């Protein structure tokens, strides 16, 4: 890889204690993530892909191992540092959009924009995701695809170096799903964010620079696509 390193996971593992049962959600795994690449993390339910995403996003701390973001040891960060890490470095896109119902599309984006010093302009971001006309609508009045675009706009308005997407097309129909993927691909070049898409939909792997395959709580395989497919050409 000739790109600079963005994040490094060293033997990261995570155990959950459910009463007396210990669940190994993630077994010791290592992964390097580079600036500007698009990674698709593939795996069936329970394979540990969401756990991996939560650890990368600073929503959770590993039970063991280290996570470096640049020189910052995210795995040793305290609550305040983790909050700041999420605030400055990470954008999230969720399967169910997670928009605030009481805020309009533009206000949902502004909610994130208000957190940092120099965000992108809200209207520019909505323009970017193709929702300028729907800025004043509440989530309940938007279609699923439109809500996901708002969610993406909310994530990228902070210009995060790392954009984490958890099943971003999971709740959408095929056509809409494709358009969302195209938008994410576009963002790697326009915003310059590293995009990580977690999905169980194997077809999406074709658009990735690299594909991380997970099975039973462990990274089973990491492969590179020499020529990633344009999202519009993906079919499932």
Partner 1 sequence: MPILNRRLWRMVAAGKGQFAALVTVVMMGVLVYISMTTAYYNLYNSQQTFYQQSRFADYFFSVVKAPQDITNRIETIPGVVAATGRIQKDVSFLRPDGGRGTLRLTSYKLPLGQQLNQPVLLSGRMFTGYSGGNPEVLVDPQFAKGLGLKLGDILDIVAEGKIVHLKIVGIATSPEFIYPMKDASSIIPLPGEFGIAMLPYNQAEQILNLQGQVNQLSLQLVPGTNEYEIKKAVDAILAPYGNLYAYPRDQQLSHVVLKTELTQLKVMSRFLPFLFFSIAAGMQFLLLGRMIRLQRSSIGIMKALGYDNRTITAHYVSYAVLVSFTGAMLGTISGIGLAVLLSDTYAQYFYLPTTIGGINYRAIVYSFMISLGVGASSGLLACRGVIKIQPAESMRAAAPVQGKHILLETIPWLWKRFNSSWKMGMRSIARNKTRFMVMVAGVSASVVLLMLGFFMQDAIDYMMEQHFEKEGRYDYLIHFSSPIRESDLGYWLQWSEVEDLEPILEVPVSVTKADSNGVKSDDDLLQGLGLDGWMQGVFSPSGIQLAIPDNGVLLSAKSSKKLKLVVGDHIKVKSKMDLGPGHTMTLKVVGISQQLMGGGSYVSLQTANRLLGESKLLTGVMVNIHPGQAAAFERRLGDLTSISSIVSRNKAESNFRTLMQSAIFTIICMVIFAGILALAIAYNASLMNFNERKNELGLLRVLGYTNAEIRGVLLKEIGLQSLIGIILGIPLGRWLANYYIATAATTDMYAMPAVIYPRTYILATVSAIVFLIAGFWLITPRLKRLDLVETLKNWD
Residues that bind partner 1 (CB under 8 A): 54, 57, 59-60, 79-80, 83-84, 86-88, 90, 92, 94, 96, 98, 100-104, 107-108, 110-112, 114-115, 138-140, 154, 158
* CB-nearer residue toward partner 1: 113 or 208: 113
Residue 27's CB is within 10 A of a number of other CB atoms, namely: 16
Dihedral over alpha carbons 156, 160, 164, 168 (to 10 degrees): 10
* CB-nearer residue toward partner 1: 74 or 112: 112
Task: Please say whether the beta carbons of 211 and 205 come within 8 A.
Answer: yes
* CB-nearer residue toward partner 1: 110 or 182: 110
Q: How far is the CB of 83 from partner 1 (least distance, A)?
A: 5
Start-to-end C-alpha separation, the chain: 30
The closest of 205, 217, 179, 218 to 38, measured between CA atoms, is: 205
Alpha carbon separation from 38 to 41, 147, 208 (Å, rounded): 10, 22, 5
CA 101 centroid distance within chain: 22
Q: How far is the CB of 149 from partner 1 (least distance, A)?
A: 17
* CB-nearer residue toward partner 1: 43 or 119: 119
* CB-nearer residue toward partner 1: 63 or 108: 108
CB-based contacts of 133, cutoff 8 Å, min separation 6: none
Q: How far is the CB of 235 from partner 1 (least distance, A)?
A: 29
The closest of 59, 58, 51 to 25, measured between CA atoms, is: 51
Q: How far is the CB of 184 from partner 1 (least distance, A)?
A: 18
Q: How far is the CB of 82 from partner 1 (least distance, A)?
A: 9
């Amino acid at each position: 890889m000739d790109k600079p390193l963005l994040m490094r996971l060293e033997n990261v593992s995570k155990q959950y204690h459910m009463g007396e049962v210990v669940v190994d959600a993630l077994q010791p795994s290592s992964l390097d993530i580079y600036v500007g690449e698009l990674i698709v993390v593939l795996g069936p339910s329970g394979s540990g892909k969401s756990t991996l995403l939560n650890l990368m996003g600073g929503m959770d701390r590993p039970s063991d191992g280290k996570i470096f973001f640049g020189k910052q040891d995210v795995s040793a960060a305290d609550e305040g540092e983790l909050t700041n890490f999420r605030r400055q470095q990470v954008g999230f896109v969720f399967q169910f959009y997670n928009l605030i119902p009481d805020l309009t599309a533009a206000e949902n984006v502004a909610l994130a924009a208000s957190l940092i010093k120099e965000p992108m302009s809200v209207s520019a971001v909505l323009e970017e995701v193709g929702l300028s006309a729907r800025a004043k609508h509440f989530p309940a009045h938007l279609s699923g695809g439109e809500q996901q675009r708002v969610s993406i706009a909310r994530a990228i308005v902070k210009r995060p170096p790392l954009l984490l997407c958890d099943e971003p097309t999971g709740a959408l129909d095929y056509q809409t799903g494709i358009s969302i993927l195209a938008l994410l691909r576009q963002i790697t070049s326009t915003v310059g964010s590293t995009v990580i898409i977690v999905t169980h939909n194997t077809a999406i792997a074709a658009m990735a620079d690299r594909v991380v395959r997970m099975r039973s709580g462990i990274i089973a395989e990491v492969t590179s696509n020499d020529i990633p497919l344009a999202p519009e050409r993906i079919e499932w």
